[in-house]
Amino acid sequence: MKPLTPEQGRSALSDDAERNRLLAEMAEQSTDMISRHTPGDWRFIYASPAVTHLLGFTVEEIVGMSAYDLYHPDDVKDFQDRAPSVTYDRGLYTHTYRFRCKDGHYTWLESTSRTLRDPETHEIKEILVVSRDASHRIKADKANRRLARVLESTQDLVIFSDLDLQITHLNEAARRCLALEHTDYTRLSLQELMAQKGFQTLLADGLPTAKEQGSWRSELNLQSREGNPIPVMLELLVHRSLHGDIEYLSLVARDLSEKKAAEAQMKHYQAEIDHASRLITMGELASSLAHELNQPLLAMVSFLRGIERRFASAESLRWQDIETPITRSISTALRAGEIVHRMMDFTRKQEPQVTELDIARLVNGICEFCESTAERHNVRILCQLDDNLPAVRGDQIQLEQVLLNLLVNALEASDTEAEHELKTVSVGVRPEGDQLLITVDDEGPGIPEQDLPQIFERFYSTKRTGLGMGLAISRSLVENLGGELWAENLPQSGSRFSFTVNTVN
* DSSP class per residue in 313-325: S-S---HHHHHHH
56-60, 89-93, 139-143, 310-314: least confident range: 310-314
130-134, 312-316, 358-362: least confident range: 312-316
The 10 Å Cβ neighbour count of residue 239 is 11
| pLDDT of 351 over the 70 cut | no
Stretch 434-461: mean pLDDT, rounded?
81
Stretch 211-225: mean pLDDT, rounded?
86
State the pLDDT at residue 104.
Answer: 92
What's the DSSP call for residue 56?
A: S
| pLDDT of 110 over the 50 cut | yes
pLDDT bracket for residue 321 (50, 70, 90): low
Q: Which residue has the higher pLDDT, 447 or 279?
A: 447
State the pLDDT at residue 16.
Answer: 52
pLDDT bracket for residue 272 (50, 70, 90): low
Using left for φ > 0, alpha for ψ between -120 and 50, and beta otherwise, residue 157 falls in: beta
Runs of H (alpha helix) within 158-256: 172-177, 196-201, 207-213
State the pLDDT at residue 500.
Answer: 92
| Phi, psi for 320 (deg, rounded to 5) | -60, -30
In 28-187 the beta strands, taken as DSSP E runs, fall at: 33-37, 44-47, 86-89, 92-100, 106-117, 124-133, 157-161, 167-170
pLDDT bracket for residue 286 (50, 70, 90): low
State the pLDDT at residue 76.
Answer: 78
State the pLDDT at residue 467.
Answer: 47
Beta bridge partners of 127: 37, 115
| pLDDT of 358 over the 70 cut | yes
Stretch 145-149: mean pLDDT, rounded?
75
Q: Which amino acid is at 492?
A: Q
| pLDDT of 204 over the 70 cut | yes
pLDDT bracket for residue 501 (50, 70, 90): very high
Give, to the nearest 10 degrees, the angle between helix 257-284 and helix 470-480.
130
State the pLDDT at residue 440.
Answer: 93
Q: How many angstroms separate the Cα of 255 from the Cα of each of 171, 173, 206, 431, 432? A: 14, 10, 18, 43, 41
Closest C-alpha among 286, 214, 278 to residue 250: 214
Task: Enumerate residues 6+ apart whose C-beta is below 8 A from 272.
Answer: none
Do the beta carbons of residue 44 and residue 34 sit within 8 Å? no
Residue 91 C-beta-side C-alpha neighbours within 13 Å: 6
Query: Three-state SS string across 195-212, please?
Result: CHHHHHHHHHHHHHHHHH
pLDDT bracket for residue 55 (50, 70, 90): very high
State the pLDDT at residue 63.
Answer: 93
Task: Give CA 175 to chain center in angstroms.
Answer: 21
Angstrom distance (rounded) from CA 497 to CA 481: 17
Angstrom distance (rounded) from CA 283 to CA 139: 73
- For the chain, helix (H) and strand (E) counts, in that order, are 16, 18
Mean of pLDDT over the chain: 78
Give, to the nearest 10 degrees, the angle between helix 257-284 and helix 319-347.
140
- Output the pTM of the full model: 0.39
| pLDDT of 154 over the 90 cut | no
Stretch 238-263: mean pLDDT, rounded?
82
| pLDDT of 421 over the 50 cut | yes
Give, to the nearest 10 degrees, the angle between helix 319-347 and helix 396-413.
90
State the pLDDT at residue 197.
Answer: 87
308-312, 411-415, 479-483: least confident range: 308-312
The per-residue pLDDT for range 122-134, each reduced to its tens digit, is 888 888 899 999 8
Q: Which residue has the higher pLDDT, 35 or 480?
A: 35
Q: Which residue has the higher pLDDT, 330 or 208?
A: 208
